[in-house]
Structure 1
Amino acid sequence: MATESSVWSTCDYSHNVTFFYNWVGKKISVAWTTRDFVVIGLGLTVCLIVVLANLLVMVAIFMNHRFHFPIYYLLGNMAAADLFAGIAYANLMLHTGPWTSTLSKEQWYMRGALIDISLTASVANLLAVAVERHQTIITMQLHSKMTKRRVVLLIVCIWAVSIVMGLVPSLFWNCECYLDDCSTVAPLYSRRFLVFWAVLNLLTFFVMVAVYTRIFVYVRYQTRHASHHSTEMRHKQTVFNLMKTISMVLGAFVICWMPGLVTLLLDGLLGKASHANAFEKFCLVIAECNSLVNPIIYTLRDDEMRRTFMWILCRLRRRGADQPRKLSPVEINSPLPEETLGCVQKLEDQAVRTETNDKEDSWTIPGRTLKRAGFIL
């Protein structure tokens, strides 16, 4: 009891942000340096692209009636999480460098909470998409039979968990009462919390690996059997396309998140000896890039999504050239408006020149044919 009392006696909530930075040896810039300008400039550029790309995805899913299915609702929610991540990271960029010393503890915690919430939501959506694809591929469906109510409940749970994870450090899991546990990357955060958060994300990664590996093994087995009823080339092409998409999904996750997760683990386990401050900001920029890669992998590989993008961009270009016109939702059951067909065709012709002949309209399993589920094949 005496030891516990002595520990709690060090708790002093009057310390400001600068105190904790000085305690862990993390220097706060008193003047703008070249490194600050590079990090902020690069970060804001990434944020702008992330916001625009994911906003385009959300608009496309909203306007195209063919996307009103569970998988696309999850993709739209992931785009919303990634868009929020872009905004949260822009807020971080505008409150870093010499501005850090002017923040109150509440502002500092809120800055970190926005990042944690958005990135946790993005990763949780990646896992939800992987599980949904597993369910549909294994049961040989194009779209999940999950009801809209369940999809909404899943989305609410994703955001609830993300908000809790973002608020945990400010509520109780910080180092204000345990100064020896302060992180060097995030000086008010507990090193144990950073280890927990990094391990949780690594476990999420391994679950994704297991899910996509099972999908690949299953489809490879089925297509190998189907190859007796079709050409060998078709069999190899189908497996290759699936493997390419899975490699892109897992590769993007590893490239974008692994540096940051390793940095957090080293900081949590070694503290000042990890020297994590030397590269932690660049790792955060790379992690943020995953919010840009997500819409590319999960949507731009879908022909219907690309066509919707082209339609939206053509209408925006015409609005800029002509008088503003009111946009109505795209009814995909009817053809695109004649005034945009020429523009869409032109953009499609340009895209075709850069594409390789690796497309498969469908992959066949004995007695059944499943049309390509967008980004999976």
Structure 2
Amino acid sequence: MCRVPASSMDAFNKSALDFSLDDDSKSTASKILLSLTLSLLAVITTTMNSMVITAIIVTRKLHHPANYLICSLAFTDLLVAILVMPFSIVYIIKEAWVMGQVVCNMWLSVDITCCTCSILHLAAIALDRYRAITDAVEYARKRTSRRAAIMIVAVWVISIFISLPPLLWRHHQASDDEGCLIKHDHIAFTIYSTFGAFYIPLALILILYYKIYRAAKSLYVKRGASQLSKQTMNGTMLPLCSDRDPQSPDTLSPPEKSFSDLSTEGDRVRITNKSPQEGSRRERSSRKQRISGNREKKAATTLGLILGAFVICWLPFFLKEVIVNTCATCGTSAAVADFLTWLGYLNSLINPLIYTIFNEDFKKAFKKLIKCGHYM
């Protein structure tokens, strides 16, 4: 039997120790990088939603019932950034829940309720915009601050009722060795929570935005035909119909313009002094088609961003919830579960961007806020 020299054994032990230290240092470095990345996302989410809330509060032009829904959505996403994300970062880095069951229950309550409420806000905004486009004149009279407040309260109440049963069930089944999570032992709880929090709102949002796009497309065609039908009066080209037809998208409130920028200032047909002989009927028809096509493309792009961001952020998480909680042999790693959870949290960062970036009033308000912050 061969005997290994002591010097060789020492060298082997030293190399093994160095390898272990290298693994530990790599693990520490990766955790630091991960915590910094997640913390940065939380800070950006907090900043963006705070700016939306502040802009609506300080800008008189944004004081509109539909914008109150945007403000409530931003407030909900702000709660996610402040009360949910930091605890999740600690949980991920520590790889265990170290803050006790009381804090765990509070964190899960806020997490589920606020995320559900954020999703339901998107459905409420879709419903509000659908009514504003398909029944503009009548709904304009009904669209009051009181109605917006009722919708916001209803969204919060529904969110609480959706999130409460799973939380109560977890309270009875809580076990310290399972960490801070909710595991549904019954399919009924999984169906109730996932369908109430995501799948039903998703179906509603898809249907409403499809109808919104169809209605907007129809309005673009009618508005284009109205604007390009002209009569000659004292040598001046004037529209036959008012430039602000009651049923045209121009009469929609600022949130509708933010949704699809239905009223594009550069596309408006202005009064000119050109004679009727200038330009052929074919040119006018081509211009109408170009204007209508551009607006339809813009509306489709905006709808694609809204729906795409929502589906990409939340669908993987809720698919995982259904699969894991209904299949006894199925499961996911902690890394995958954390990634899907934070993909859902990312929607709270994207919401203030998508729902305000297409609105010129919001853009101006943000610029003013940034200038004020620069001079402070």
TM-score normalised over the length of structure 2: 0.69
Q: Is structure 2 residue 180 aligned with structure 1 residue 123? A: no
Aligned to 1:139: 135
1:58–1:79 Cα contact (<8 Å) kept: yes
Which amino acid in structure 2 is aligned with residue 242 of structure 1? A
- Summarize deviations over 1:296-316 as a string: whole Å, max 9, x none: 111121011000100111011
- Aligned CA-pair RMSD: 2.7
Aligned to 2:156: 159
Q: Is structure 2 residue 110 aligned with structure 1 residue 114? A: yes
- Summarize deviations over 1:244-271 as a string: whole Å, max 9, x none: 1111110010111111111111111214
Q: Sort the Cα spacing of 1:119 and 1:204 in 2 relative to 1 into closer, same or farther, 3 A.
A: same
Q: Sort the Cα spacing of 1:203 and 1:164 in 2 relative to 1 into closer, same or farther, 3 A.
A: closer
**Partner Cα distance (1:163, 1:36) in 2:** 34
Q: Is structure 2 residue 57 aligned with structure 1 residue 62? A: yes
- Summarize deviations over 1:175-229 as a string: whole Å, max 9, x none: 718x9xx999935554643443222302211110100100111221232344444
Which amino acid in structure 2 is aligned with residue 42 of structure 1? T
Aligned to 1:47: 42
Which amino acid in structure 2 is aligned with residue 102 of structure 1? V
**Partner Cα distance (1:187, 1:84) in 2:** 20
Q: Find the partner of 2:220 among 212, 216, 223.
A: 223
1:185–1:267 Cα contact (<8 Å) kept: no
Unaligned runs of 5+ in 2: 1-26, 229-287
Count of equivalent residues: 285
Which amino acid in structure 2 is aligned with residue 85 of structure 1? V
Could you tell which deviates more after superposition, 275-284 or 210-219?
275-284
Please identify which structure carries the higher helix content.
2
SS, match of residue 136 in structure 2: coil
**Partner Cα distance (1:47, 1:77) in 2:** 18
Q: Find the partner of 2:203 among 203, 206, 209.
A: 206
**Partner Cα distance (2:123, 2:108) in 1:** 23
1:124–1:158 Cα contact (<8 Å) kept: yes
Q: Is structure 2 residue 307 aligned with structure 1 residue 250? A: yes
Q: Sort the Cα spacing of 1:86 and 1:267 in 2 relative to 1 into closer, same or farther, 3 A.
A: same
Displacement after TM superposition at 1:156 (Å): 1.8
Alignment of 1:312-327 (within 5 A): 312-319=369-376
Displacement after TM superposition at 1:236 (Å): 0.6
**Partner Cα distance (1:190, 1:45) in 2:** 35
- Summarize deviations over 1:308-358 as a string: whole Å, max 9, x none: 100111011011xxxxxxxxxxxxxxxxxxxxxxxxxxxxxxxxxxxxxxx
**Partner Cα distance (1:215, 1:91) in 2:** 39
1:121–1:162 Cα contact (<8 Å) kept: yes
Q: Sort the Cα spacing of 1:96 and 1:275 in 2 relative to 1 into closer, same or farther, 3 A.
A: closer
2:66–2:128 Cα contact (<8 Å) kept: yes
Q: Sort the Cα spacing of 1:136 and 1:102 in 2 relative to 1 into closer, same or farther, 3 A.
A: same
- Summarize deviations over 1:121-177 as a string: whole Å, max 9, x none: 111111111000001111235967322222222212222232343443332356718
Q: Sort the Cα spacing of 1:222 and 1:154 in 2 relative to 1 into closer, same or farther, 3 A.
A: closer
Which amino acid in structure 2 is aligned with residue 110 of structure 1? M
Q: Is structure 2 residue 98 aligned with structure 1 residue 102? A: yes
Q: Sort the Cα spacing of 1:175 and 1:81 in 2 relative to 1 into closer, same or farther, 3 A.
A: same
**Partner Cα distance (2:153, 2:131) in 1:** 20
- Summarize deviations over 1:108-128 as a string: whole Å, max 9, x none: 222211111111111111111
1:53–1:292 Cα contact (<8 Å) kept: yes
2:130–2:209 Cα contact (<8 Å) kept: yes
Q: What percentage of aligned pairs have identical amino acids?
A: 20
Displacement after TM superposition at 1:103 (Å): 3.5
**Partner Cα distance (1:144, 1:50) in 2:** 35
SS, match of residue 113 in structure 1: helix
- Summarize deviations over 1:24-81 as a string: whole Å, max 9, x none: xxxxxxxx76665454333222111100000000000000111111110000000000
Displacement after TM superposition at 1:93 (Å): 1.8
Aligned to 1:80: 75
Q: Find the partner of 1:266 among 307, 312, 323.
A: 323
Which amino acid in structure 2 is aligned with residue 261 of structure 1? F
TM-score normalised over the length of structure 1: 0.69
1:74–1:155 Cα contact (<8 Å) kept: yes
1:175–1:188 Cα contact (<8 Å) kept: no
Q: Sort the Cα spacing of 1:318 and 1:184 in 2 relative to 1 into closer, same or farther, 3 A.
A: closer
Alignment of 1:321-360 (within 5 A): none
1:136–1:144 Cα contact (<8 Å) kept: no
**Partner Cα distance (1:43, 1:60) in 2:** 26
Structure possessing the higher radius of gyration over alpha carbons: 2
**Partner Cα distance (1:41, 1:144) in 2:** 49
Aligned to 1:285: 342
Aligned to 1:71: 66
**Partner Cα distance (1:149, 1:70) in 2:** 8
SS, match of residue 275 in structure 1: coil
**Partner Cα distance (1:174, 1:236) in 2:** 55
